[in-house]
């Protein structure tokens, strides 16, 4: 990771698992222009800078907030042109997250409001602390969710519930998020990273080429009709047949040992 980053922290927790922390704890990890630039740079360059990475965790610094959304104090001083320029960067950062080849797990440790909720939704799945709260509150500010929330939330919880939550700007807790399908698991705050890491390690232990193709097949396939989704998935499957990892996986199964995948 770029040593000049000021709003993010990144480190490898294992040989193949990374942890990205949103780190503006003094303002509940709110997103300012610098954080947007750093998120964009991180996700754009992730594949070549961290080729060993097989799964990424994203969390917030501290115990109170994952991310409180956009830094409204900074935005209150912006011109319309500056606001639009910042938002263009945010749009690009979210697309870079959605197109990240490795699975991203959000470990939501506290409030995930506005753009913070959208960052969590841009991850592939979410583990949440029991104390976490979520909301897309943009309609109270005279705008709408602008970092993908109008698209990612209905895909997680359904159209009718998403319209209610967005238009009413209604906060909801971790257990509601679990019931509605936005969150995969709710755990006690002190166990959040441990549980999320355990899941990430399971992913990282599997064949990395297969994991990437599986993620892509789900992401792309769910945007297509069933016929074209199946075609895409079969093509992704066929790309894996003539790989060293496929041969290693079969050999390890027959020999009753753990596979040693190399990503080739």
What residues act catalytically? 118, 138
Within 13 Å of residue 49, how many CA atoms lie on the same side as its CB?
14
Other Cβ atoms less than 10 A from the Cβ of 220: the count is 14
DSSP state of 220: H
Q: Are 114 and 146 in contact (CB under 8 A)?
A: no
CA 109 from chain centre, in angstroms, equals: 14
The dihedral sign for the CA sequence 73, 79, 84, 90: negative
Cα–Cα distances in angstroms (integers) from residue 6 to residues 20, 34, 37, 195, 232, in the given order? 13, 8, 11, 27, 40
Q: Which two tokens stand for residue 23?
A: 């780190």
């Amino acid at each position: 990771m770029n040593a000049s980053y000021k709003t993010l922290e990144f480190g490898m927790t294992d040989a193949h698992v990374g942890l990205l922390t949103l780190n503006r704890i003094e303002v509940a990890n709110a997103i300012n222009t610098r954080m947007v630039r750093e998120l964009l740079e991180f996700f754009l360059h992730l594949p070549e800078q961290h080729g060993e990475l097989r799964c990424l965790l994203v969390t917030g610094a501290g115990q109170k907030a994952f991310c409180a959304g956009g830094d409204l104090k900074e935005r209150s001083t912006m011109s319309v042109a500056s606001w639009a320029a910042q938002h263009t960067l945010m749009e690009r950062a979210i697309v870079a997250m959605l197109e990240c080849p490795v699975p991203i797990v959000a470990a939501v440790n506290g409030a995930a409001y506005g753009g913070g909720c959208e960052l969590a939704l841009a991850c592939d799945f979410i583990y949440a602390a029991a104390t976490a709260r979520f909301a897309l509150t943009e309609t109270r500010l005279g705008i709408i969710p602008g970092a993908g929330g109008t698209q990612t939330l209905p895909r997680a919880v359904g159209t009718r519930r998403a319209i209610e939550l967005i238009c009413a700007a209604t906060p909801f807790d971790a257990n509601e998020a679990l019931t509605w399908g936005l969150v995969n698991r709710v755990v006690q705050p002190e166990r959040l990273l441990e549980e999320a890491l355990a899941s990430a390690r399971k992913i990282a232990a599997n064949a990395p080429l297969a994991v990437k193709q599986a993620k892509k097949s789900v992401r792309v396939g769910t945007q297509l009709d069933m016929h074209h989704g199946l075609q895409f998935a079969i093509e992704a499957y066929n790309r894996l047949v003539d790989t060293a990892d496929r041969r290693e996986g079969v050999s390890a199964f027959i020999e009753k040992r753990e596979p040693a995948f190399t990503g080739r």
